[in-house]
């Protein structure tokens, strides 16, 4: 019934895979290679004009966007529930999702590209890189700003500050709760942010929550669940692909103070 077009090390794909695993749903895994540009192929752009992953196909329905997919799955497969049964609780959930989409999700892209992805573009000619930029329907300007040498120290510093801010906000909810919405199991809000925090740890930035013991305990708790192993299999992390990952981390900029 469910087909997920995704990529093994895409954090947005991992969010959805966590929900599928938590709900113990059977699904067909269609992997798209970023290196081969399969997410930008005419065939894939037919179902997702933005050219990003993941995309869920459920019978004849096409559902793009990871957070939309997570909410959709919780509606069509309501057990076990991963949201609240009350309007107030669902409002709290959506507030977390919007915050993660606006703050944490874009922030993680900056160190991810600087430490890993930009090297793929560094050896290209200027014309080749321009073609790569123009092929992207959704993130053309992001790639333009990155260029072939990565983002500058100020942009990276702002991104790291936003991750630290995210962890501080999460810490407030996790001081007395195992999960962001309480309860005895992860919600889709937990699944939304967990791959982002895991990515930052994989890139060597776990110091960003060194003063947030609730976040550290939450991450350790999540990593013990079966859904985690089903989602973060071998090849699903940047460190599985880049042996020199931590050595690519330049001297860290100071967090930008507003």
- Comma-separated ranges of CATH 1.20.1050.10 domains in the chain: 87-248
Grade residue 167 by pLDDT with cuts at 50, 70 and 90.
very high
Average pLDDT over residues 41-70: 97
Instruction: Give the strand order in the sheet containing 2-6.
Output: 28-31, 2-6, 55-58, 61-64
End-to-end CA distance of the chain: give it in Å, rounded. Answer: 48
Contact 110, 156 (CB under 8 A): yes
In the chain, residues under CATH classification 3.40.30.10 are: 2-76
Give the pLDDT of residue 253.
Answer: 54
Indicate the class that CATH gives domain 87-248: mainly alpha
Q: What is the pTM of this model?
A: 0.94
pLDDT at 257: 45
**Would you state the pLDDT for residue 232?**
98
Average pLDDT for the chain = 94
Confidence at residue 243, expressed as pLDDT on a 0 to 100 scale: 83
Mean pLDDT of 113-122: 94
Would you state the pLDDT for residue 247? 72
Handedness of CA 3, 5, 8, 12 (dihedral sign): negative
pLDDT at 166 over 90: yes
- pLDDT > 70: what percent of the chain? 96
Q: Characterize the bridge pairing of strands 28-31 and 2-6.
A: parallel
Confidence of residue 244 (pLDDT cuts 50, 70, 90): confident
Domain 2-76: CATH architecture, name and number where available: 3-Layer(aba) Sandwich (3.40)
Helices 153-174 & 213-223 angle (0-180, nearest 10) = 80
Distance CA 234, CA 84 (A): 33
The C-alpha angle with vertex 191 and arms to 33 and 114, in degrees rounded to 5, equals 50
| pLDDT on residue 159 | 97
Pick from 241, 237, 248, 170: nearest CA to 11: 237
Compute the distance between CA of residue 210 and CA of residue 206 in angstroms, rounded to an integer.
7
Q: Report, as an integer, the average pLDDT of 118-138.
A: 95
Residue 254: its pLDDT value, please? 54
Write phi, then psi, for 41 (nearest 5 degrees): -70, 150
pLDDT of 251 over the 80 cut: no
User: Do 188 and 83 touch, CB atoms closer than 8 A?
Assistant: yes
Q: Which residue has the higher pLDDT, 247 or 104?
A: 104
pLDDT band at 198 (very low <50, low <70, confident <90, very high): very high
State yes or no: pLDDT of 255 exceeds 90. Answer: no
Report residue 249 as tokens: 């981390």
């Amino acid at each position: 019934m469910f087909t997920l077009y995704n990529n093994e090390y895409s954090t947005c794909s991992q969010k959805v895979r966590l929900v599928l695993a938590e709900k113990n749903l059977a699904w067909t895994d269609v992997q798209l290679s970023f290196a081969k540009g399969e997410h930008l192929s005419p065939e894939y752009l037919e179902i997702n004009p933005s050219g990003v992953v993941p995309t869920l196909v459920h019978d004849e329905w096409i559902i793009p966007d990871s957070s939309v997919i997570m909410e959709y799955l919780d509606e069509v497969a309501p057990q076990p529930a991963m949201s609240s049964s009350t309007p107030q609780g669902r409002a709290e959930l959506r507030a977390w999702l919007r915050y993660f989409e606006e703050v944490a999700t874009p922030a993680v892209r900056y160190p991810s590209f600087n430490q890993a992805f930009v090297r793929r573009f560094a050896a290209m000619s200027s014309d080749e890189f321009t073609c790569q930029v123009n092929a992207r329907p959704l993130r053309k300007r992001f790639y333009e700003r990155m260029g072939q040498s990565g983002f500058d120290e100020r942009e990276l510093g702002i991104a790291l500050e936003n991750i630290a801010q995210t962890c501080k906000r999460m810490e407030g909810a996790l001081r007395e709760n195992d999960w962001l919405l309480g309860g005895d199991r992860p919600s889709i809000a937990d699944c939304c942010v967990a791959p982002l925090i895991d990515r930052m740890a994989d890139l060597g930035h776990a110091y960003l929550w060194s003063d947030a013991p609730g976040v550290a305990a939450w991450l350790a708790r999540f990593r013990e669940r079966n859904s985690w192993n089903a989602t973060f299999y071998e090849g699903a992390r940047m460190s599985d692909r880049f042996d020199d990952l931590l050595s690519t981390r330049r001297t860290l900029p100071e967090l930008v103070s507003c």
